[in-house]
Every structure is written in structure tokens, then in C-alpha cells.
Amino acid sequence: MVRILRDAVPEGVKRHGVSEVSIDAWRKRFGEMVSDDVKRLKTLEAENARLKKMVAERDL
């Protein structure tokens, strides 16, 4: 994904087959991040979702 964000939008659309809207959304969310930052963010988001699920199941 970080590679896609480095490309100009029209080039990214052609080369990677994603929409301009997707690229713009990714740039807003991940624009200044490097690939290690993106991996860490995704790991933390997955852990957060897992913990929320555990709390929800416990509260049932």
C-alpha cells in the first residue's frame, strides 16, 4: 500500500487497479507513514478488535 501511495494518482490507478477514491482515502489515513508504521497500525487495530470482542463476550 505504501508503494501505491508513492505513485501519482493516475499512475497508481493504472498500475495497481485501485480507484482514485481509495488512493485518496489511503493518503488521508496513511500518507506520512512508512511500511513499518502501517504494519504496526494494522497489528494494533487487530489486537484492539480482538480485545473488544473478548470484553463483549465476557459481558454477555
Domain range summary for the chain, segments of one domain joined by +: 2-59
Count of residues making up the chain? 60
pTM for the model stands at 0.47
Residue 36's Cα: distance from chain center in Å? 12
Q: What are 3-50's pLDDT values in tens digits?
A: 565 666 666 566 767 777 876 787 777 766 666 777 888 899 999 999
Rounded to an integer, what distance in angstroms lies between the CA atom of residue 49 and that of residue 53?
6
